[in-house]
A and B are shown apart, each in its own frame.
Chain A
């Protein structure tokens, strides 16, 4: 296991065995190729990254949707979608995610492998061209984004932001982040602020777009039955950035000095819902690049990551308080989030049990089977994730976000080496910051005719 490839000039082969991943730098964009015969499709994933910030957050969300709505050659959504359908239903979608304090635009495209089509049409080259156009040749009119597209996408984005409120789990999560990180960029929602959408002009958005393709960190992943040399040729042919493109290094987020907690914040809100939503946020002071990152993974697994975890076993199985009680963590911000749907009256009881589980871990009350099961499950999880082209690209992209160079084998080795003492040490660092509870009033959803 480990690195078999060597690094020369601009190209490196990192991990072998599990994944054949090569990187090539071209015009300031990193092209990652993963050659595999596992899939019946070829996947392209473009990741465009910038630190999340108040000034651009809403514009950037809008930009993602405007880009997927038309290109120079196919200047309307209908024309673009028809072109994709003709490529045997190639899919194209743009989405946003927050990775640590970065707001990442992901543009994904997937096309059928020609060899499975009865009439072997050459779809790959066309797909490459189309993807490059989505990023580099958008639908423009009078030197700015087409007004019609911008208008439609503004309305859609506003509705999307509003609908977070309708999904109470997402709403409670959003409110937790706003309270917990009230003075940090991480409080920002990845889709931006609803009340800022209307005022964005096509001109302003286009200017911002130009800045994005000039200075953002851009990574392209190509996964499928491909050859790296051929892909690199195609990228050179289709992706042409302007000469003044230069990644803005000063933008890179430094692992911020995380706030120290003196007192747990407790926030209550009431809505007319049948089930209360309990969300708790912890700071861990550990991120992806850190030595004890693997111990944090194991901590989260034992705490609430699986169906054998302490939260599931105690909140659900022992006390029947909830259908779900789980924790997840964010690798680049270094946060653990607990969530559970409970009866409003059971708030004190549930919080007490959750806090106790954390205390148990600090005291080292972790059974051998909890410990070993968790490690086996994490191992299983990563291997399963990389069976999927998008999952694989996301696992690899962690390195880009964190500025590390960890192969999947090294990652798995890291988990293997974690000891119980390491987990206890991490458990002691993990600190509860904020509790957000959405209380229910209990008459939601009456029917009228």
Chain B
């Protein structure tokens, strides 16, 4: 059993890797009512080409299968696991991202009972042809809901523009057509490969006794048998550094156009501290260039090119990475022109130490604020851990950043040829 204390943050993290490879983390939060637990597999929508556990041939599976599997895992022979949680005073949920599928609950009641339900339902799949067919209607409506959502469309359209081959460009839920092909055997094949305990993290945060919880989980796992852990082989085609498409316009029934622009990262293969440093540097730079206290933000707002919906972010995982900026705008083309020229002129001037310090303070404050949220801690810790990073390094890494780091990403990430644009425009009748 391991323990790490973060004095500055007044937090202690307990952890252990079990014999079957499962990594378990417990963070005690005194004074909170709620306990929040996530059970996450390092498997998401991009993992569509792999070698199934114990087989020799690679397979390519239908788009949207990781998300479909997430829905179906809740259904058991005795009924719906959602009901079991709610009988035990807990609310359960799940989500699928590009790289992860997470199952979770929160409760102010019996933690151990709900923890057992969480671990057991994820580790005991039950798929039948009948229940798989039934789900297609529900997910079909989920897909349509997203299809009608202009914010989702502009965000996803931008990612589609960036990538030639990488499956990050495929919608997480797939399409009505692609999910129609999914069978129960497909689900079992993905499940067997990616839901091995050694590919998963269990994170519990709340007013609990960490040692007691760790022993409880250990006990649960020691009663089950799993196959030997194996390295999972995932395949990705080579992705060029260029963007696949530099501009796309989607017509929808909207009144205000939306515009996102993005820069594709040329070398998205960092892990560990290097990745954290890079991610935080780009985000810090974005804050300096376009944060609410920047001259650029003021100018864009003044010119009526942005409103409260304007936001930006940089994210990188193994194999893909991009920054994006955008929101609602009356003049999408002018927006693109102004942002690009602001980026270019930022490159021409030396970085101002003052604005670097201010942006860093702001980022540190925002991080502290996030630590009020058990959801943030569990979800982000898991994401970081899958990329060999430690969430609790964020403040020291921020403090170690220099103007030089920011200068470096400014010159290397924000390249004209790596830029792409996606707009949602008002449909012409």
User: Could you tell me which A residues sit within 8 Å of B by CB distance?
Assistant: 18, 36-41, 76-78, 81-82, 84-91, 110-113, 116-118, 148, 152, 155-156, 159-160, 162-163, 165-168, 271-275, 306-308, 316-317, 320-324, 341-343, 369, 372-373, 376-377, 379-381, 383-384, 386-389, 440, 444-449
Contact B363 A89 (CB under 8 A): yes
Contact B148 A275 (CB under 8 A): yes
Judge whether B297 is part of the interface by a CB distance below 8 angstroms: yes
Chain B: minimal CB distance from A335 (Å): 24
Judge whether B86 is part of the interface by a CB distance below 8 angstroms: yes
Question: Given A85-B358, A152-B301, A308-B86, A41 and B144 touching (CB < 8 A)?
Answer: no
Question: Given A39-B372, A320-B137, A320-B138, A90 and B148 touching (CB < 8 A)?
Answer: no
Which of chain A's residues have a CB closer than 8 A to the CB of B91? Answer: 306-307, 377, 380-381
Contact A272 B427 (CB under 8 A): yes
Which of chain A's residues have a CB closer than 8 A to the CB of B149? Answer: 167-168
Chain B: minimal CB distance from A207 (Å): 25
The 10 sampled A-B contact pairs (Cβ below 8 Å) are A76-B298, A85-B293, A89-B361, A112-B365, A117-B364, A152-B301, A159-B330, A166-B256, A446-B251, A447-B157
Chain B: minimal CB distance from A408 (Å): 10
Q: Give bound CA distance, A397 to B309, whole Å.
A: 28
Which of chain B's residues have a CB closer than 8 A to the CB of A274? Answer: 144, 147-148
Question: Given A116-B10, A273-B148, A323-B141, A163 and B256 touching (CB < 8 A)?
Answer: yes
Contact A444 B307 (CB under 8 A): no
Which of chain B's residues have a CB closer than 8 A to the CB of A342? Answer: 141
Chain B: minimal CB distance from A157 (Å): 9
Question: Given A85-B361, A341-B144, A116 and B8 touching (CB < 8 A)?
Answer: yes
Which has the most chain A C-beta neighbours within 10 Å: B86, B134, B139? B86
Question: Given A82-B358, A88-B362, A159-B330, A343 and B141 touching (CB < 8 A)?
Answer: yes
Select A112's contact among B34, B252, B369, beta carbons within 8 Å: B369
Task: Type the 1/0 row for B265-304, where 1 means its CB is closer than 8 Å to any CB of A.
Answer: 0000000000000000000000000011111011001101
Select A322's contact among B141, B151, B330, beta carbons within 8 Å: B141
Judge whether B248 is part of the interface by a CB distance below 8 angstroms: yes
Contact B147 A307 (CB under 8 A): no
Chain A: minimal CB distance from B343 (Å): 19
Contact A388 B86 (CB under 8 A): no
Judge whether B249 is part of the interface by a CB distance below 8 angstroms: yes
* Residue of B whose beta carbon sits closest to that of A308: B86
Which of chain A's residues have a CB closer than 8 A to the CB of B9? Answer: 40, 116
Contact B364 A376 (CB under 8 A): no
Chain A: minimal CB distance from B213 (Å): 19
User: A-B pairs with the 9 shortest C-beta distances?
Assistant: A89-B365, A320-B137, A89-B362, A81-B293, A376-B89, A88-B365, A383-B108, A323-B142, A383-B33
Chain A: minimal CB distance from B83 (Å): 5
Contact A88 B8 (CB under 8 A): no
* Residue of B whose beta carbon sits closest to that of A301: B86
Give the contacts of B89-110 with A (CB-CB under 8 A).
89-92, 106-109
Which of chain B's residues have a CB closer than 8 A to the CB of A37? Answer: 30-31
